[in-house]
């Protein structure tokens, strides 16, 4: 969460260990499942090479738990978690963390509130006490509320002048309507100003419950130690949280919506319906997206829009999988007098790939890149703990890491081209353009 990340530097000892952990070579990731006496399931990668532990918590729901008239409450609440807890004010909490070389970060996403902890083995018990206090006993002091509220409002006001943020908020509102995904996790100026301490307390009760928590740990800790830590940390939380929202109904009518903004360059986002991670065709779609717009210079869109025509510095697409919606999204920016042509080329490529498919050479190059890049994600205790928590939230099996590249390699050219015909929907490809584009007018609702 942009307002909640601490500005304090890591304690020197922990910083050194983080660096060492980041370069440690790993032959594999051996995941143990640990269930605490209170029934909290945790994934553990035990590694006693360094006296350091990375802990990740995910509480499902995130900003989507905001009530319609309380947008931004979960984000503001999360930003206050390190602004004082139990008998410590913000300064005392920061000082206590620094004294033991611990780092705590808190973040609000659409689907989860994330809590990250990094601490030395010798201070594990004290770090757990501090982390527990921030989660279970936050102070939400009036002065802290006003300080963090001002930070949030500053970001919201800045976003109102950012074409990319305007495009994203406009597209979200168009796609998701009144669903929580349809509004920014930050809220609006009006909604954030109106939030009270009682609203923040309600957001805290909605988020923090044992029935929606996912925990992972990597490093110098045994299963028994982790089991005790988890119950000490979470044992007093409510058993159940606020009901989660229903699945979103997507509105992707095709066409273009123009948002007037005085800038020499237009920013455009485009979207169409996506595909669930549970779908048997997901990996074929994942490879297909990489070929079309996966962010490398060899993608179809980069070749056609940038390399051949010089219409942009960059264009990309990705599959966005949320708890309540699956969307295929892309982005491009170009001068006002060129954005119309860029959009035309993107539409043409969308139709061409759907009709003609991709080549074996494109498929082979995509597989080489995707399988080669994957191991680079596991470059330290923190990144691994983060990946494991995400896997749990997506209900992925523990052997997924070992099997993932095999799943990519198993995708055939016939699979990719069949999925292109099934999934790609040029008629539903919907653009939001922020700027003053030449020759483009709004052509959708």
Give tens-digit pLDDT for 61-84. Answer: 999 999 999 999 999 999 999 999
Contact (CB, 8 A) for 215 and 56: yes
Report how many domains make up the chain: 2
Instruction: Say what the pLDDT of residue 192 is.
Output: 98
Check whether residue 266 and residue 405 sit in a common domain: yes
pLDDT one-digit tens code per residue, 322-340: 999 999 999 999 999 999 9
Q: 301 in helix, strand or coil? A: helix
Tell which residue, 264, 275, 419, 270, has the closest CA to residue 353.
419
240 within domain boundaries: no
Average pLDDT over residues 391-410: 96
pLDDT one-digit tens code per residue, 242-284: 999 999 999 999 999 999 999 999 999 999 999 999 999 999 9
- Give the pair of three-digit tokens for residue 216: 């992972």
Instruction: Say what the pLDDT of residue 165 is.
Output: 97
Tell which residue, 317, 159, 181, 318, has the closest CA to residue 251.
181
Tell which residue, 51, 54, 73, 53, has the closest CA to residue 62.
73
442 within domain boundaries: no
| Domain boundary pick from 234, 268, 296 | 234
242 within domain boundaries: no
Q: Is the pLDDT of residue 24 over 70?
A: no
Check whether residue 178 and residue 269 sit in a common domain: no
Q: Is the pLDDT of residue 27 over 50?
A: no
Q: Is the pLDDT of residue 226 over 90?
A: yes
Instruction: Say what the pLDDT of residue 100 is.
Output: 96
Q: Backbone phi, then psi, for 204, in 5-degree steps?
A: -65, -45
160 within domain boundaries: yes
Cα–Cα distance, 338 to 12 (Å, whole number): 50
> How long is the chain?
445
Q: How confident is the model at residue 3 (pLDDT cuts 50, 70, 90)?
A: very low
Torsion of CA 159, 162, 165, 168, to 10 degrees: 140
Identify the H or E element spanning 129. Answer: helix 124-136
Q: Is the pLDDT of residue 392 over 90?
A: yes
5 within domain boundaries: no
DSSP per-residue codes, 334-370: EETTTHHHHHHHHHHHHHHHHHH---HHHHHHHHHHH
Q: How confident is the model at residue 20 (pLDDT cuts 50, 70, 90)?
A: very low
Cα–Cα distance, 4 to 106 (Å, whole number): 6
Q: What percent of the chain has pLDDT over 90?
A: 91
Instruction: Say what the pLDDT of residue 16 is.
Output: 45
Identify the H or E element spanning 434. Answer: strand 430-435
**All residues at 6 or more sequence positions from 96 whose CB lies less than 8 Å from its CB, including other chains:** 88, 126, 130
Q: How confident is the model at residue 103 (pLDDT cuts 50, 70, 90)?
A: very high
Contact (CB, 8 A) for 329 and 269: yes
- Give the pair of three-digit tokens for residue 113: 């509130």
What's the Cα-to-Cα distance from 257 to each of 260, 267, 282, 426, rounded to whole Å?
Answer: 10, 12, 29, 16
Check whether residue 270 and residue 145 sit in a common domain: no
Check whether residue 280 and residue 215 sit in a common domain: no
**All residues at 6 or more sequence positions from 82 whose CB lies less than 8 Å from its CB, including other chains:** 4, 6, 90, 93, 94, 104, 106, 134
Contact (CB, 8 A) for 25 and 72: no
249 within domain boundaries: no
Q: What is the mean pLDDT of the chain?
A: 93
Identify the H or E element spanning 278. Answer: none
Write down the pTM of the prediction: 0.91
320 within domain boundaries: yes
Check whether residue 224 and residue 307 sit in a common domain: no
Pairing of strands 213-219, 265-273: unpaired
* Residues of the domain holding 401: 255-435
pLDDT one-digit tens code per residue, 287-307: 999 999 997 899 999 999 999
395 within domain boundaries: yes
Q: Is the pLDDT of residue 445 over 80?
A: no
- Residue with token string 């996790």: 185
Q: What percent of the chain has pLDDT over 70?
A: 93
Q: Is the pLDDT of residue 22 over 60?
A: no
Q: 10 Å Cβ neighbour count for 259?
A: 18
Q: How confident is the model at residue 444 (pLDDT cuts 50, 70, 90)?
A: confident
CATH of the domain at 331: 3.30.830.10
- Residue with token string 């052509």: 443
């Amino acid at each position: 969460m942009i307002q909640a990340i601490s500005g304090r530097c890591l304690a020197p000892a922990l910083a050194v260990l983080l660096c060492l952990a980041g370069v440690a070579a790993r032959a594999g990731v051996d995941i143990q499942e640990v269930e605490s006496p209170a029934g909290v399931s945790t994934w553990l990668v035990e590694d006693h090479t360094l006296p350091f532990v990375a802990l990740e918590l995910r509480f499902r729901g995130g900003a989507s738990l905001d009530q319609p008239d309380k947008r931004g409450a979960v984000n503001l609440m999360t930003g206050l978690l390190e602004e004082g807890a139990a008998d410590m004010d913000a300064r005392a909490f920061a000082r206590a963390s620094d004294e033991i070389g611990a780092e705590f970060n808190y973040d609000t996403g659409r689907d989860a509130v994330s809590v990250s902890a990094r601490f030395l083995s010798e201070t594990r018990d004290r770090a757990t006490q501090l982390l527990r206090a921030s989660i279970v006993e936050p102070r939400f002091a009036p002065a802290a509320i006003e300080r963090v509220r001002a930070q949030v409002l500053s970001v919201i006001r800045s976003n109102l002048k950012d074409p990319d943020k305007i495009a994203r908020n406009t597209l979200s509102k168009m796609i998701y309507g009144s669903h929580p995904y349809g509004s920014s996790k930050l809220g609006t100026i009006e909604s954030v100003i109106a939030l009270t301490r009682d609203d923040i307390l309600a957001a805290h009760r909605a988020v923090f419950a044992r029935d929606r928590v996912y925990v992972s740990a990597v490093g110098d800790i045994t299963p028994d130690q982790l089991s005790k830590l988890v119950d000490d940390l979470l044992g007093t939380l409510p058993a159940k949280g606020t009901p989660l929202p229903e699945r979103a109904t997507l509105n992707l009518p095709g066409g273009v919506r123009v948002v007037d903004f005085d800038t020499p360059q237009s920013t455009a986002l485009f979207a169409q319906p996506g595909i669930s991670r549970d779908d048997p065709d997901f990996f074929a779609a994942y490879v297909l997206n990489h070929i079309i717009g996966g962010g490398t210079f060899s993608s179809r869109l980069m070749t056609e829009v940038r390399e051949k025509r010089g219409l942009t510095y960059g264009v990309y697409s990705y599959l966005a999988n949320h708890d309540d919606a699956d969307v295929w999204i892309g982005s491009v920016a170009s001068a006002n007098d060129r954005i119309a042509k860029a959009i035309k080329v993107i539409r043409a490529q969308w139709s061409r790939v759907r009709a003609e498919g991709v080549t074996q050479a494109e498929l082979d190059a995509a597989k080489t890149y995707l399988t080669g890049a994957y191991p680079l994600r596991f470059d330290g205790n923190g990144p691994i703990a983060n990946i494991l928590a995400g896997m749990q939230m997506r209900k992925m099996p523990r052997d997924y890491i070992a099997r993932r590249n095999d799943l990519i390699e198993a995708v055939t050219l016939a699979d990719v081209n069949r999925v292109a015909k099934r999934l790609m929907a040029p008629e539903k490809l919907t653009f939001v353009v922020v700027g003053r584009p030449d020759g483009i007018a709004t052509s959708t609702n």
